[in-house]
Chain A
Amino acid sequence: MEFETVIGLEIHAQLLTDSKAFCSCTTKFGNEPNSNTCPICLGMPGSLPVLNRKALEYTILMALACNCRVNEISRFARKNYYYPDLPKNYQISQYELPVAEHGWIQVDTTEGTRKIGITRIHMEEDAGKLIHDEKKPVSYVDLNRTGVPLIEIVSEPDMRTPEEASAYLRTLHSILVYLGICDGNMEEGSFRCDANVSIRPVGQTALGTKTELKNMNSFKNVQKGLQYEIERHTDVLGNGGAIIQETRLFDPSTGATVSMRSKEQAHDYRYFPDPDLLPLRVEPELVEKMRASLPELPREKKERFVMDFGIPEYDAGVLTSERSLAQYFEDTVSIFPNPKSVSNWMMTEFMRVLKGQGSSVASAPVRPKDLAGLLKMIEDGTISGKIGKTVFEEMWVSGKRPDQIVKDKGLIQVSDVSELSGIIVKILEDNPKEVSRYLEGKTQLMGFFVGQTMKATRGKANPQLVNEIITSELEKFRASSEQ
């Protein structure tokens, strides 16, 4: 029997607010354990939550970016369960009325563009962290993360392959990072993904029994975990067995999933409206304000780059993968209006050095105006493209302007025809064997002559001119030898 896979994802994203969701404690990562706390996030008796307005604004931004309907009234609810990382033993979340619902995003896959539905986006507070002593039976509680604002983005079960799920995840990730509302760090847990997966015979509309996968803390692991789970489902059903509805943990070391708890062991969270927080009213004015502040999203930007700048779709995709990279490109083009040349340079030299140095676009020592200056010098023939690469590396290391480097190192291109002719004639005279072999038809020797010329001019010779002069001088040799 042939099966079809059905995947839905639940994503938790930490919002990049300065303070926590319901108190004014800092959200800074890496501080002394339990130093980012106050009576409110510690759940002290008598303390009360007050919603961080910035967290709401960020949630609305994401909702709009995902084409969701923002509910005018939503409600916070308490999710009750006992665990030491949750000081109140309930989590403030949303249940029946989330901030936003009924959205979708477009996702590019190898099979084409797919529209994936977003069921809902709701706000909640993060829990703390438990650190288990490896030697003693002791656990330590760090509540710095407690109360950090999260949004949960729940997709429709619209994905059919792990690749599609991965593409959806990457798209959401880039939207969040683009909006500047989440740092997207999967290892530190500021972007987390749980997956629901089931399979069904092709043609069947009813969903099969699903399992929920947790603990996949990288894009690759999400794909691996899903792949494993689909194969497991297929095996079980293929052998006449039945899938048990349960929550399973992905083990990155084995690539397998293991059962964590069954449906019977699932918590009864006893959700009810949080009486400490009034129904949340989102005024249409606020939604419009946030809509107006919505930046251009990766997908729109990519389309615009292809249309307006005439660069290939692949290049546009790379350049718009990060907001700062796209901005860098546009800033450079605004000074040096040759988008193809800027794109070529950024796709090759810029990205190579950036990755090699492990630095970020924002901290790149070569700023757009300097790159533009360099490209201009190449375009007007002041330096050769090859020399340009050397100058670029020097700019990166020294932080100097390109014209300064070219001047200091005497790198200006030699484009004087009589000067180049003199040099070239001498080279041809010094290498009679190669000349005669060339004239006998071994035209690959052209490269040898060019190389010698470049060597003699320490790379500064205008390559186009060098080619032309060598060709014409060799023709002269041919004419004289035939006489």
Chain B
Amino acid sequence: MSNLYEKTATELAGLLSSKKTSSVEITRSVLDRIDAVEPKIHSYVSVYPDLALAMAEEADRRIKAGRGNSLTGIPIAIKDNMCLQDKKTTCGSRILSNFSPPYDATVVRFIKDEGMVILGSANMDEFAMGSSTETSCWGPTKNPWDTDKIPGGSSGGSAAAVACGQATVALGSDTGGSIRLPAAFCGVTGIKPTYGAVSRFGLVAYASSLDQIGPFGRDISDIALLLNLLCRHDPMDSTSVPMSHPDFTSFLNKDVAGLTLGVPVEFFDKPGNRDVEKSLRSARDVFEKLGVKFVDMSLPSLNYGIAAYYVIAPSEASSNLARYDGVKYGHRSKDFESMIDMYCKTRAEGFGPEVKRRIMLGTYALSSGYYDAYYLKAAKIRTLITKDFKRAFESCDAIFAPVAPAPAFNIGEKMDDPIEMYLTDVFTIPVNMAGLPGISCPAGFSGTGLPIGMQLIAPHFGESKLVQLVAAFQRETDFHLKRPSI
């Protein structure tokens, strides 16, 4: 029997319900694994062994009493931007380095109510601004497949933890690709649900109209279980959609023959990476053998996705991050001469360079006289992107795309070139702009053994279609079963 930390939530749930193991055993196995590899990977900002074991004991009691749910007793890592009551929630930022929220995020409440075991907070780019988890004030997370490489970002800690057994599953958030990109770079499965499917209450905002929480797992069955838990209406979030979602596990064994995947020329006409091209081509072969049809299509507005994103996201961020001023909580500068001086020094000391860059971009874009030229124009492009996708879905069930232009890059490689870093998200950003669900799953490896991901995009609230397609793909392939040797 392989180690408990290597098993999926679905496998562990089976073992728990048949009493072959306990949540405490599972949790100990994962905590031991964290002890063993954390110094090399640095997936976590905080690990809570005592809390985790107490939650595991409680879960075991529940299971024994016959009150266990599908995910009761399963260990999970939470990205450091979701409020954990009375525990440090730092967003990877110095400005919140001493902040413990007085309340739980709605998703954290769901997890606690389910009886899952919270391991700790996963590392991330500061305020989720980055594609590499290098902007965290706690230092970078390493890619478990090659510790010289970045794990992708911004949910790099969550993805790396799941990849190397430091967590069975994890939560991340995705504003421009922050779940899908690290999932691809770390060889795990991750989904960004439809905007409005998962509550944002308690998710520390980066760009409110784009942020969405989603799960990481080692395979699609774990994703389906977590979607069942997460996709629920929350009256505390005005953008949470009041609707009932299907049982996503019921789509795990559905046939995909006859489904159509759209191939946007804009996602395949860039000078590409050979490994990525090869993996995508063979993924297409797998689907075709399963009876899936492919249609070429054009979504011309996708070419403006990045430009528009880097107006809208920083604009919202400049306002969302205004509250970190040293008055109420978080870091406050020690020496200051006046109120304005306190604001300036607190923020100068508390924020890292990438966050400052985006605050300045956003402040500029919203300024009187520039609003129409930047924010308003970007909002129009966003509408065009949404319309392009809508039209595309008239002739296909989902869209087939790469996740990133190339596999994981070296630590430090793009830190001095923000534009290069931003371009990493060229295939993921349009999905957030349109509020669509997008999934990233392992689809191959590069010549040097780095994971390569494939992205599928569905119409609004079409998560079940993504589960169905990826489940079929994972039945035919074993990329998702490969684990990094560390």
Contacts and interface: CB of A to CB of B under 8 A. Distances in A.
Interface of A: 39, 42-51, 78, 80, 82, 84, 87-90, 141, 268, 270-272, 275-278
A-side interface mostly: loop
B22 to A, nearest CB: 33
B15 interface: no
A88 B329 CA distance: 12
A270 B368 CA distance: 6
Contacts, number: 97
A46 B205 contact: yes
A275 B368 contact: no
Contacts of B371: 270-272
16 contacts: A43-B323, A45-B323, A46-B105, A46-B204, A48-B201, A48-B237, A80-B318, A80-B366, A82-B322, A90-B322, A268-B368, A271-B371, A272-B316, A272-B375, A276-B205, A276-B208
B103 interface: yes
A51 B368 CA distance: 27
A48 B83 CA distance: 13
A44 B82 CA distance: 12
B99 A48 contact: no
A46 B318 CA distance: 15
Given A39-B102, A84-B327, A272-B375, A50 B319 contact: no
List the 10 closest pairs (A to B, CB-CB), nearest first. Answer: A89-B322, A275-B209, A275-B208, A270-B366, A45-B204, A46-B202, A46-B83, A46-B204, A268-B368, A88-B323
B200 interface: yes
Contacts of B82: 46
A44 B81 CA distance: 12
A264 to B, nearest CB: 13
Contacts of B105: 46
Contacts of B237: 48, 50
B96 interface: yes
Interface string B307-338: 00000000110110011010111000000000
A138 to B, nearest CB: 11
B202 A42 contact: no
B366 A47 contact: no
Given A44-B103, A47-B201, A90-B319, A276 B328 contact: no
A371 B366 CA distance: 64
B236 interface: yes
Interface string B170-210: 00000000000000000000000000000011111101110
Nearest to A78: B319
Contacts of B328: 42-43, 87
Contacts of A50: 235-238
A167 B311 CA distance: 47
Contact of A88 (B102, B207, B235, B322): B322
Contacts of B343: 82
Nearest to A51: B238
Contacts of A42: 328
A14 B368 CA distance: 29
B-side interface mostly: loop
B367 interface: yes
Interface in B200-227: 200-205, 207-209
A47 B316 CA distance: 15
A377 to B, nearest CB: 59
A84 B200 CA distance: 26
B346 to A, nearest CB: 11
Given A45-B91, A275-B316, 12 more contacts: A39-B101, A44-B101, A46-B83, A50-B235, A80-B322, A82-B343, A87-B323, A89-B325, A270-B366, A272-B371, A276-B208, A276-B238
Contacts of A141: 327
Contacts of B29: none
A277 B237 CA distance: 9
A350 B398 CA distance: 77
A78 B366 CA distance: 11
A354 B421 CA distance: 75
Size category of the B interface is: 35 or more
A42 B315 CA distance: 22
A50 B103 CA distance: 17
Contacts of B83: 44-46
Interface string B81-97: 11100000101000010
B474 interface: no
Contacts of A278: 238-239
A241 to B, nearest CB: 28
B267 to A, nearest CB: 27
B239 A276 contact: yes
Contacts of A45: 83, 89, 91, 96, 99, 101, 204-205, 323
A59 B436 CA distance: 35
A39 B458 CA distance: 35
Nearest to B235: A50
Contacts of B315: 272
Interface in B339-356: 339, 343
B238 A48 contact: yes
A386 B98 CA distance: 77
A277 B238 contact: yes
B333 to A, nearest CB: 15
A274 to B, nearest CB: 8
A84 B203 CA distance: 23
Contacts of B204: 45-46
A88 B327 CA distance: 11
B23 interface: no
B363 interface: yes
B230 to A, nearest CB: 16
Contact of B323 (A49, A89, A271, A276): A89
A332 to B, nearest CB: 47
A270 B201 contact: no
A87 B326 CA distance: 11
Interface in B237-252: 237-239
Contacts of A277: 238
Nearest to A40: B236
B317 to A, nearest CB: 11
A49 B208 CA distance: 12
A42 B323 CA distance: 10
A120 to B, nearest CB: 20
